[in-house]
Structure 1
Amino acid sequence: MKTVLIISHCEDYHVEKALHLLKQKKANYFFLTLDEFPKNYSLSQSINNNSASATLENTLTKQTIKLSEIGAVWLRKSANFSYLSNDMEESTNTFANNETEHALFSALYTLDCFWMSHPKFLRAAMWKGEQLKRATEFGFNIPDTLISNNPCEIRAFYMRHSKIVFKVMSDPIIYNDADQSLGVATTLVDSDMLENAESLRLIPNQFQAYIEKAYELRVTIIGNEVFTAKIDSQAHPETKIDCRNLNVRVPMSIYELPKKIEAACLKLIKSYSLNYSALDFIVTPKGEYVFLENNPCGQFHYIEENVPELKIIESLTNTLLRACI
């Protein structure tokens, strides 16, 4: 039996759940914590005209693995690298990050095994504007969307729809100098927000026509398995616009997607060559399904906590282990 390689950061509770199951199954695994790499790891890759090999060692636990022993990779989350020296100048740190990324992925890209999912496919699937265009090609309805830093275009979009939202396209978490996090929520836009032209010109932002909701869906896909949770976001005033408010317990339940929608979800994900993804939908009061976005490394722990009937982590670990046989 080959080994499962898990790549994330050391405080990822999704990985904690997976490791618990892998230990129960007495499976072979190696957990690479990027926020401790290369500080607590040793990496060696050898390439010549006749062969190529690589080994990875956790210098604290002394666990060592040859990359040829890996049967499946779960590329769960990225993280900032760390070094034995923590007082490098900014330019030196940037150089070190670039070199470290090249060294690590030069080795990992040689792996001919099952990936959940491969970094080149993850990157191709992350662009929000492209996702929306592709979703329409698979028959999904989407919100009218504008991505722009042109104040005139943004104001005209607001006038056309009268009710629009601002949505982050990348990571919605911002860290300050004290390493404190601030979440950027989906926000209802009013006319006052559009008065400052310099602010609108600063960076291109995503704006969407507001879609009335009956409820929302989180569709998690692992291989050919589809796990759908209904999120009753309209049950609480603080989650009507953005259901990701961790201070409010949003009612969730298991949900059966119409076969046509489920099939389209699978086709969309397979078009990106992904083995895992999480899709977000609005269901309108008229029963229409509206695609919002595709999250190739999307969170699922909060879904399984609220809807334990959805055995997402069990399916995920079983999928990884099957690839190692």
Structure 2
Amino acid sequence: MTCPRPVLVVTALYDPTADMVITELHDRGVPVVRLDSGDFPASLSVEAEITPRGLEGRLTTPSRTANLAQIRSLYYRRPSGFAAPHLSEQDARFVITQARYGLGGVLASLPDCRYVNHPHRIGDAEFKPAGLTAAAGAGFLVPRTLITSNPDAARAFVKRHRSVIYKPLHNPVHLVDGISSVVQIEEVNAEDLDESVGGTAHLFQRRIPKVADIRVTVIGSRTFCVRIDSGLLDWRTDYSRLSYSVVEASPGVERALRAYLDHFGLVFGAFDFAVGEDGRWWFLECNPSGQWYWLEAETGLPMLSAMADLLEGTVWT
């Protein structure tokens, strides 16, 4: 079936947030083509020709065909990675690279398409040093942060700021006793830091004494702010202890949000802030592919409708 002016949703098979967005778009009569780039080339094919009129061709899944020149928007969520387990390591590396720059390049070059968000812009914004630097430039309060592979520099930073937390620079899932896990944020002491710090880059950040957390979700021109009370260093470690309340961003924070998103060319972002004891909001990070739908269930904020409006094209940023 060929879909006229569809929304293209690029994500893995299990993605409850994408499921809700697709249902909302279907209810509005907006056609959707869902695919996981990790299914290429087994159950996903691409034909793309560069013509004097631009990029033309089609993407084909087992149930849908999308005209590349007619895709109205692309919702880029969390697709699985390309893989070629049936090939040797060298051959797999070649095949995966060609897929990334071939199919990936096509998905990043769609004409007349709104990206939420563009995959290249997501990649740029996922580098924590870039994000923290952009946040400071946008006007956010940013805790003093050190990125280093030098054990002496790490110990000196911890001693200088006394209360310091460690964060991974990126958080790939790894297995612990066969169970998927991620590296947690934790407080560190100078005596805990040995020469193993020299094995790679690490991020250390002054801990802000906080009374709560704030999750700000920006969807196009809409801003949704939720205060999260938990008493936890990292609220993501125990959702059963969370309580939620809707709050408003100050004009200064709103301007900084827009400046940050404009810096990276994003139209969606999930921002995390710590609320200091004096009430000020301290920027922690912005996830350009962050989760958000569970907050609608907890607060009643019309976030799903805002996302569907953005993808359908009924609102503009």
TM-score by length of 2: 0.91
Structure 1 residue corresponding to 2:263, chosen from 260, 264, 271 = 271
**Corresponding residue number in structure 1 for 2:48:** 45
Q: Distance in 1 between matches of 2:20 and 2:128?
A: 29
Unaligned runs of 5+ in 1: 235-239
User: 1:322: Cα distance to partner?
Assistant: 1.4
**Corresponding residue number in structure 2 for 1:206:** 203
Q: Distance in 2 between matches of 1:226 and 1:210?
A: 26
Query: Equivalent pairs: percent with the same residue?
Result: 27
Structure 1 residue corresponding to 2:23, chosen from 20, 43, 67 = 20
**Corresponding residue number in structure 1 for 2:58:** 55
Work out whether residues 210 and 274 of structure 2, in 8 Å CA contact, stay in contact via their aligned partners in 1: yes
User: 1:150: Cα distance to partner?
Assistant: 0.1
**Corresponding residue number in structure 2 for 1:8:** 11
User: 1:297: Cα distance to partner?
Assistant: 1.0
Q: How does 1:105-254 map to 2 (within 5 A)?
A: 105-112=104-111, 113-175=113-175, 180-194=179-193, 196-197=194-195, 199-234=196-231, 240-246=232-238, 248-254=240-246
Residues 123 and 140 of structure 1, relative CA distance in 2, 3 Å threshold = same
Q: Distance in 2 between matches of 1:66 and 1:286?
A: 54
Q: Distance in 2 between matches of 1:277 and 1:316?
A: 12
**Corresponding residue number in structure 2 for 1:237:** none
Work out whether residues 171 and 182 of structure 2, in 8 Å CA contact, stay in contact via their aligned partners in 1: no
Work out whether residues 280 and 294 of structure 1, in 8 Å CA contact, stay in contact via their aligned partners in 2: yes
Q: Distance in 2 between matches of 1:36 and 1:324?
A: 32
Counterpart secondary structure, 1:134: helix
User: 1:305: Cα distance to partner?
Assistant: 3.0
- When structure 1 is superposed on structure 2, of 50-59 and 26-35 the one drifting more is 50-59
Residues 169 and 87 of structure 1, relative CA distance in 2, 3 Å threshold = same
Residue identity matched to 2:121: F
Structure 1 residue corresponding to 2:296, chosen from 289, 301, 304 = 304
- When structure 1 is superposed on structure 2, of 286-295 and 128-137 the one drifting more is 128-137
Q: Distance in 2 between matches of 1:136 and 1:226?
A: 20
Q: Distance in 1 between matches of 2:86 and 2:120?
A: 32
User: Cα RMSD between the aligned structures?
Assistant: 2.1
Counterpart secondary structure, 2:23: helix
TM-score by length of 1: 0.89
Structure 1 residue corresponding to 2:305, chosen from 294, 299, 314 = 314
Work out whether residues 167 and 207 of structure 1, in 8 Å CA contact, stay in contact via their aligned partners in 2: yes
Work out whether residues 3 and 324 of structure 1, in 8 Å CA contact, stay in contact via their aligned partners in 2: no
- When structure 1 is superposed on structure 2, of 255-264 and 289-298 the one drifting more is 255-264
Q: Distance in 2 between matches of 1:115 and 1:312?
A: 18
**Corresponding residue number in structure 1 for 2:248:** 256
Counterpart secondary structure, 2:237: coil
Work out whether residues 39 and 82 of structure 1, in 8 Å CA contact, stay in contact via their aligned partners in 2: no
Residues 304 and 91 of structure 1, relative CA distance in 2, 3 Å threshold = farther
Q: Distance in 2 between matches of 1:305 and 1:49?
A: 48
Residue identity matched to 2:18: V
User: 1:172: Cα distance to partner?
Assistant: 5.0
Work out whether residues 44 and 55 of structure 1, in 8 Å CA contact, stay in contact via their aligned partners in 2: yes
Q: Distance in 1 between matches of 2:50 and 2:262?
A: 33
Q: Distance in 2 between matches of 1:322 and 1:254?
A: 27
Cα deviation, 1:126-177, whole Å, max 9, x if unaligned, reads: 2212222222222211111000010010000011011110011212532479
Residues 228 and 98 of structure 1, relative CA distance in 2, 3 Å threshold = same
Q: Distance in 1 between matches of 2:125 and 2:67?
A: 30
Q: Distance in 2 between matches of 1:322 and 1:145?
A: 39
Once superposed, which parts of structure 1, at least 4 consecutive aligned residues long, lie more than 6 Å away? Answer: none
Residue identity matched to 2:40: F
Work out whether residues 159 and 190 of structure 2, in 8 Å CA contact, stay in contact via their aligned partners in 1: no
**Corresponding residue number in structure 2 for 1:32:** 35
User: 1:244: Cα distance to partner?
Assistant: 0.6
User: 1:247: Cα distance to partner?
Assistant: 5.5
Counterpart secondary structure, 1:320: helix
Work out whether residues 4 and 324 of structure 1, in 8 Å CA contact, stay in contact via their aligned partners in 2: no
Q: Distance in 2 between matches of 1:146 and 1:241?
A: 19
**Corresponding residue number in structure 2 for 1:291:** 283
Work out whether residues 72 and 323 of structure 1, in 8 Å CA contact, stay in contact via their aligned partners in 2: no
Cα deviation, 1:204-227, whole Å, max 9, x if unaligned, reads: 100001110110101110111101
